[in-house]
Amino acid sequence: MSNVRYLTTRELRNDQGKITGMIKVLVPKDSNNAKVKYVCPMCLKEAETAEEWKKPFAVNCKFCGYKIKLPKLMAQFKKEKKTELAGSTKE
Ligand SMILES: [Zn+2]
């Protein structure tokens, strides 16, 4: 995985606080372009997109316009890696 600069999958909550979506972000090494796959927590539709990698990172759902944020990247990095490993059997 040495050609990956950043990779995370996280659950997304809707405005009721329920986990109804997810976002996966992959940033290749030596690239500023994040590959994003998400399930919007508001309209529950799935899409893929590419966005410039920056912090804080956010994408707008292309169906409903909901702003999907990816907060606290560094603080949760270790936890996310664990989640990533635990979740990998689902795919
Ligand atoms: Zn949406």
Distance (Å) from CA 68 to ligand 1 centroid: 9
Distance (Å) from CA 89 to ligand 1 centroid: 26
User: Between residues 80 and 33, which one has the greater pLDDT?
Assistant: 33
Number of folded domains in the chain?
1
Domain holding 74, by residue range, is: 4-90
Distance (Å) from CA 3 to ligand 1 centroid: 31
Going by C-alpha positions, the residue among 67, 65, 55, 63 that lies closest to residue 23 is 67
**Each residue's pLDDT tens digit, 76-91:** 455 555 555 555 444 4
Distance (Å) from CA 20 to ligand 1 centroid: 11
**Each residue's pLDDT tens digit, 37-75:** 999 999 999 999 999 999 889 999 999 999 999 866 555
Residues facing 39 on adjacent strands: 22, 46
Distance (Å) from CA 1 to ligand 1 centroid: 31
Give CA–CA dist 60/70, Å, rounded: 11
Region 2-15 average pLDDT: 92
